[in-house]
Structure 1
Amino acid sequence: MEAPAPVRTATLWAALATGLLSMLLLGDGLALNLVMVAIPAALAAYFAAQAAGRRPRAWTLVWGIGGIALLAVPALRDADWPSFLAVVTAVALGSMAVHGGRTWPAVLLGPIGILNALVTGPAWGWRGLRERFGSSRGNVGAGLRAIAVTAVLLLVFGALFAGADAAFADLLGALVPDTSVSGGPWRFLLLLLGLVGALAVAHTAAAPIQWDRVEVPAGRPRGRLEWALPLIVLTGLFAAFNAVQLAVLFGGYESVLKKTGQTYAEYARQGFWQLLLVTLLTLLVIVFALRWAPRDGGRDRKLVRGVLGTLCVLALVVVASAVRRMDMYVEAYGLTRLRVSVVAVELWLGLVIVLIMAAGVWGARWLPRVVAASAAAGVLAFGLMSPDGLIAERNVQRYEDTGKFDLDYARGLSADAVPALDQLKEPLRSCALRSIAADLEEGAEPWYATSWGEARARDILRDQPVSKDADWSACSGLSNELLYR
């Protein structure tokens, strides 16, 4: 890592804006305020990189824009779990944007590389601040006096305008965050976190760690027989399993269930987790096989492509079988957060296998960054599709088809599920929405900390409130009746 260029004034102002916005906006919850805080942090990184002579490249823009897009998930969805996944992925993409790199070490280590600058970044910013003020206390005092006078003018004239016009007072109250004294320590901590985070990002952009220079020693090539025999036998096992799957598909599940003595759901549940593990292990086998593949000439390259290509194609059939088994299980027991999550992971693993096959044809130089981009795109799509809303829709449809409904599970969903649960008939509708409505009534967050899913749920429940007859005893009896029907 090279020494960073001197910090620019624009970088310091952007870092200060990040800290102030963090203090004012992040204390009430996470929604659109995350995007508002991320924008000045991104500007700080841009100014620092520009001072260091770095110019944004195509993949830098992909990571940066992708990170900002992922931060929009909390602004749209009320559910915490996809929002948390999106925020973590956005931080990883932001770190990759300031580091750059195209190799596997850069892709794997880039997302955590920014942690190194959490100490060096603030020190770098402090040196730049001292250089601007120099040793003159008068310059520091002048800056502090300017900030104090600005704050007093805003406070005095803002209070007078608010007292003169009720509409302006309401507007001011909606726009200005609550900065009560009781929340002072927490607000100060958010200020420090925002300031330190922005300086760390800017320092990394000015002097990134060159992960591409990390050399991974190549594996020792094996002989053709030593390398190919285990893989060919494994490919034969895959082919036999897939042949059985095709026979089951065309022969019908009833004959298989009759022979095994299993129920429809037991057959699906037993197979999915094993097939998910098979997919993961297959990717590991491919990685190690490529590392130890023979590399003497054109015949070896054809052998590697033929064996691993066949294994990848058969692995895709395993992915399809796993997804089908989970679909069978959902038909029997309904959709849950765990089930929709593992299906999403299985589909992404299938996409990675397809990318590996493409790399075998067109070269693998682009593979690390495309795999990382596909993971980020999957997380973004997962958040935008509203998992809780999808779960509610699927389970409501299952109730209409079978009369079975897991009421206890539905009550634990977020406000994103309200539009689908609102389609249920009374008293089931009120029983399903009772807990969600109670959570929404506890207190309304400011506009910048309220997700679109939460706002939409409030509108629905305001137009058609939950029935007061849906008390605990009535809903408990209804839950048992639906669950064991």
Structure 2
Amino acid sequence: MTDFNKDFNIKIKQIMIEQTHAFATLATCLLLGLLGAILFNSHDWGINISLFGLLLAGGLLLLRHLDHHPISLAEYALVASCLFFTLTFAWRDSLVLNSLSLLGILLIAHLAFTLSTRQKLPRLEISEAFLDLFLLTRHGLTSYHGLVYQDIHWKDVQQRWGQLGRAIIRGVIIAIPLLIGFGFLLMESDARFEETVRYFLDWDLNAKTVLQYVITLILCSWIAAAVLRGNLSDQSLGSAYQDTPQNRLPLPAWGLGCVEIGIILGAINLLFLAFLAVQFTYYFGGDALVQSLEGPTYANYARRGFFQLVMVALCVMTLLLFIHWLYKPYHRFEKRLYQSLAGVMIVMTMIIEASAAHRMYLYTKEYGLTELRLYSSVFMVWLVVLFLLFSVTVLRGYRALFTFGGILTALFFIGLLHIANPDAWIAEINLIRLQAGKPFDVDYMSKLSADAIPTLVKNRPEVPTSSHCQLWEELQYHRVLRASTDWRDFNFARYQGRELLQRESLICE
């Protein structure tokens, strides 16, 4: 009987601890939702996202500390990486970079979910990654409901705190009219006190503002619940989404043999070989062939071909992974067959990508650099890295390492783009072309983000007078001069660009 009472008391204590953690998580989510509603009641994105990310990370660390659940080195790395991408919203102004930062945050959330459910990161099958993406979406949509209606036992709360709660509600109901009455009398008795009260109560609220606050509060608290709910002792993600047959993608009942593999990959390799045979005439012909009247123009040769060739590389990667998933080799020869044909296809795809790079080089040299051309080129380089990674992982029998490596390289490229500052790079290259006497699109340059303004202002003395004045006049209408000055919208690039444009002066005759 003593052992039974001891076990019962331990169980009751454990339930109380879990309920305390559930209430702490709910309170943290509501607090973060309220702070998020205040931070995002602005006109633009900037330091508000960075601060919300820091608050979310702080809430995560606090709940882990209360739960006596230490954070592993891998989790620290994920949190630090996520904070980096939230800080970039207060650093760079480019819409493309901000979108890539959001993509980076989602990729890190995917890795964090996988680490919590499967307790592994490096060895992650592609099918598991897609399944985890679905489970992560489901977890994000149902976290708040699960926290409120599953993790917290409201019947026990009502029995334990119901009388106190009802007393608090009665006290509030009685106190509110008394406060209003006495407050009205005191305001009538003193003009200074009336002015002070009106100042603090004048929130300039309307139906639209209130609705915006409510929606933002719900969204921010929902995001917080999706991140923080997994910290509950009994409702961790690992127990909620165990690696069971129900949480695995079913393997296909049919597969591909060596005959099908030989026909599919062999036919595509022959097609690629024929394409490369034609491309070599361009390589050896150079600009003279491209500019000839009989041959293709720069626009047809470069603009039309580049994006299609990048799409070819993306399709090849998808095809090789899908075929490898379906291929069931029974002998060493069959395994070598796929490796050989896939290796040949990768080599020819790399040569095709070299052709795409050559086309983009010619097009950029003639027409200048734009965001689309730059980011497409970077995407092509990332695909080349993926092909190299595919060669050292999938072709050598380590397919489970490919997914994690691909996500890491994507995060690395996104971070590298933030450091490189693409818009400033675009502005600098086009200014060099202008100094060389080539066409310069002033209208496009003036519409780049605030990241490019320091480069444009710094190099303006080297710009010819006609383009100099036109560029400066266009910059006087840059959106950064109309951007919000609210502290929640602070962005270093916008602040720096606005200061430069307001400080510099130019007189054009």
TM range (shorter): 0.7 to 0.9
Contact 1:279-1:349 at 8 Å conserved across structures? yes
1:209 pairs with 2:231: no
Change (3 A) 1:453 1:211: farther
Distance 1:204 1:466 in 2: 58
Deviation of residue 350 (structure 1)? 1.8
Q: Which residue does the alignment assign to 2:55?
A: 40
Partner amino acid, structure 2, of 1:81: V
Change (3 A) 1:222 1:110: closer
Q: How does 1:251-270 map to 2 (within 5 A)?
A: 251-255=285-289, 257-258=291-292, 260-270=294-304
Partner amino acid, structure 1, of 2:334: D
Q: Which residue does the alignment assign to 2:82?
A: 67
Q: Which residue does the alignment assign to 2:213?
A: 187
For residues 111-160 of structure 1, the C-alpha deviation after alignment (integer angstroms, 9 at most, x for no partner) is 45444345533334435495668433535876998xx9xxx9xxxxxxxx
Q: Which residue does the alignment assign to 1:166?
A: none
Distance 2:252 2:495 in 1: 54
1:273 pairs with 2:288: no
Change (3 A) 1:91 1:227: closer
Distance 2:60 2:165 in 1: 26
The alignment's C-alpha RMSD in Å is: 3.6
Distance 1:365 1:55 in 2: 28
Q: Gaps spanning 5+ residues in structure 1: where?
A: 153-162, 164-177, 471-485
Q: Which residue does the alignment assign to 1:451?
A: 491
Q: Which residue does the alignment assign to 1:25?
A: 39
Deviation of residue 381 (structure 1)? 2.7
Change (3 A) 1:141 1:382: farther
Distance 2:472 2:303 in 1: 30
Contact 2:128-2:249 at 8 Å conserved across structures? no
Deviation of residue 22 (structure 1)? 0.7
Q: Which residue does the alignment assign to 2:195?
A: none
Q: Which residue does the alignment assign to 1:103?
A: 125
Q: Which residue does the alignment assign to 1:158?
A: none
Deviation of residue 447 (structure 1)? 3.5
1:306 pairs with 2:340: yes
1:405 pairs with 2:440: yes
Change (3 A) 1:90 1:79: same
For residues 398-456 of structure 1, the C-alpha deviation after alignment (integer angstroms, 9 at most, x for no partner) is 21123311122222222112122222345534533545544333354234422111111
Contact 2:33-2:220 at 8 Å conserved across structures? yes
Q: Which residue does the alignment assign to 1:286?
A: 320
1:12 pairs with 2:26: yes
Q: 2:225 aligns with which of 199, 224, 230?
A: 199
Q: Which residue does the alignment assign to 2:138?
A: 116
Q: Percent identity?
A: 21
Contact 2:93-2:494 at 8 Å conserved across structures? yes
Query: When the two structures are aligned, how many residues end up with a matched partner?
Result: 438
Distance 1:260 1:139 in 2: 87
Contact 2:88-2:98 at 8 Å conserved across structures? yes
1:364 pairs with 2:399: yes
Q: Which residue does the alignment assign to 1:172?
A: none
1:82 pairs with 2:97: yes
Partner amino acid, structure 2, of 1:416: D
Q: Which residue does the alignment assign to 1:388?
A: 423
1:375 pairs with 2:410: yes
Change (3 A) 1:370 1:210: farther
Change (3 A) 1:203 1:333: same
Q: 1:416 aligns with which of 426, 451, 459?
A: 451
Partner amino acid, structure 2, of 1:199: A
Distance 1:258 1:318 in 2: 23
Runs of 4+ in 1 over 6 A off after TM superposition: 47-55, 140-145
